[in-house]
Structure formats: structure tokens, C-alpha cells
Amino acid sequence: MQFEIPAPRTVFEVPLEDGARILMRCHGNPDGVRLLVTHGNGFAVDAYYPYWRHLLSKFDVVAFDFRNHGLNVPVVPSNHNYSQLSRDLERVVQGAKEHLGAKKTAGIFHSMSARTAMKHAIEIGWRWDAMMLFDPPDVPPQNHPQYAAMEVFENKLAAWATARRRRFGSVEELAEEYRQSRATRNWVAGVHELMAQSVLRKAPDGDGYELTCAPENEAAIYADALVLNLWPKAAEFGGPVKLVGCDPGMKYGPATGPANQALGVEGGYDYSFVENTGHLLQIEKPEECIRLTLEFLGKHGLA
């Protein structure tokens, strides 16, 4: 299957505090509830299209990539850390309101962006009518039974990202890497190519393609996750939050599954997990993730 992202009906940029800019793309039903949709570390929101395409008929979908990702131009210095990303998210929320007007709005976040949204909501302010968190890499306190597994998980990812290849002769080269990796081979058909297209840009020197999110920036986020000190209860947020994890019981599954299950239970969250999925559950089982999304939004009068 081949996916093609539809042309957005509206595009605008949000300037960030250091001169970086985030490109916002509006899709779907302009009369619907607004959904701000984004991605995880090292990825890009266009590659989640197999998930968010199901929202277009009912919702005003505003898709965006975080700094140094996707369709945004990387900046130097990168200022690539969770504190900066949280401040960037505040600019995004306010920029969407300024450009598009105020209306009911929910945020849909995955992994890095989910942790960013949690930090933003707890430390900066609650800006949502509801918030959905897909498999955030939640790191518990050091005395928690799940801490050691998450520490190993984040350190392995940081080492992998530091050493990863950054340049490719073609988009297909990266797509084939995704198809061969145990962590990414279960994406729905067509997403390996879509992801490769979404995370690469033409190299500035004209020689092939390079990752928009530089390996050192990706690695920095994995390392930063271990020092966030962010294990909040659901009641600490200013509104409804849905926590959706990958399968906590899957053999060889990521440590995020058990960590999110622990946070969901201990923190009093509206928590679910998607069976037989790894960390990229929205593009492994998009229909099941959409079912949970619509169920949650409907429960709070947003669908």
C-alpha cells in the first residue's frame, strides 16, 4: 500500500523563542473539534498518517513536527531538550489559537511529544479540553521496580542513536532498514516508505539525503528522559488524560509497556494498552488506536 499525504487546506508557521520555526498544517473538517497531532523522537507526523487519516472527516486536524524534525528546518544551536520542547509546545498552542481562533482543542501525542506534553501541562499550564498520550517513555523514580528496565532502555536507545547512519543515497535505503529492524518491521504496509520520506531531507550539499533529526539530537532526548523526574498522577493535570501503552506483556517488547502500565495503575489514569504492539503502536495497529481515540474523545464530549 502506498500512502499519500493530502494537501493541507491551510499552512502557517509558528516562530519559537530562538528563531526556529514550526510549520503547522491544517487538514480535515474545519468545523470539527481541533486536534493537535504530532510524533515521537526521530520521527515525523506525516508518517502517522495511517492513524490520523481516520480523523479527517470529523475533526479539524492540525499536524506539526517538533523542532529539528520532519518538515521543519534544523537550527544551530539545536536547543534540543525537553525543557525547550515544552516551551515550544506553548508557542504552538498559542500560535494555533492566534492563527485559527479559539475552539475546543485536544492534543494527541506519542512518545517524546507525550512526555513533552506532560511536562508542559504540569509545569507551564493546562491548555487542552483533553489530552491523549500514546506510549510515553515514562521513567519512574529510581526506587521504583520499573526504573532499572527504563534506564537500560533509554541508554540503549541513546547509544544506538549516536551511532546511527545519518546520510542515505536514496529514500529506499532507509525504508529497507526499517523493514529489516525487529523494532519497526511490524508497521502496516507502506509506512516504512512513508516514514523514510518523512524523516529525510535532501542533503544541503546535494549528495543524497540526510536525517532531519540529527543522530546527536535524537540521542540527547533519550538521555534527557532519565533526568526529567516526571511521574505525575492523573489528578495533577487540569483535565482529562488518556494513557495508551504498547503491550506490557509482549515478549521482547519495549520497557515502555510495563512502565506505562505501572503509571496507569499507580497514577489513577484512564489507561489502556494495545495488544501485540510495540512502541509505534499508532502505525502498527492504527484502527485499534483510532477506536480508543474516538472512545475517549466521545466520553468527554469532543467526538
How far is the CA of 252 from the CAs of 119, 249, 256, 272, 284, in angstroms? Answer: 29, 9, 12, 20, 16
pLDDT digits (tens, 9 = 90+) for 246-301: 999 999 999 999 999 999 999 999 999 999 999 999 999 999 999 999 999 999 99
Contact 96, 62 (CB under 8 A): yes
Say which residue the cell 480535515 belongs to: 28
Give residue 263's region: left, alpha or beta (phi > 0; psi -120 to 50).
Answer: alpha
CA 278 – CA 256 distance, rounded (Å) = 9
Contact 39, 49 (CB under 8 A): no
Check whether 1 has a pLDDT greater than 80: no
Confidence (pLDDT) at 239:
98
**Domain 10-299 listed as CATH 3.40.50.1820:** yes
pLDDT digits (tens, 9 = 90+) for 198-215: 999 999 998 999 999 999
Domain ranges of the chain: 10-299
pLDDT above 90 as % of the chain: 97
pLDDT digits (tens, 9 = 90+) for 83-106: 999 999 999 999 999 999 999 999
pLDDT digits (tens, 9 = 90+) for 106-153: 999 999 999 999 999 999 999 999 999 999 999 999 999 999 999 999
CA 281 – CA 283 distance, rounded (Å) = 5
- Packing angle, helices 215-225 and 147-163, rounded to 10: 170
Name the pLDDT band for 185 (thresholds 50, 70, 90). Answer: confident
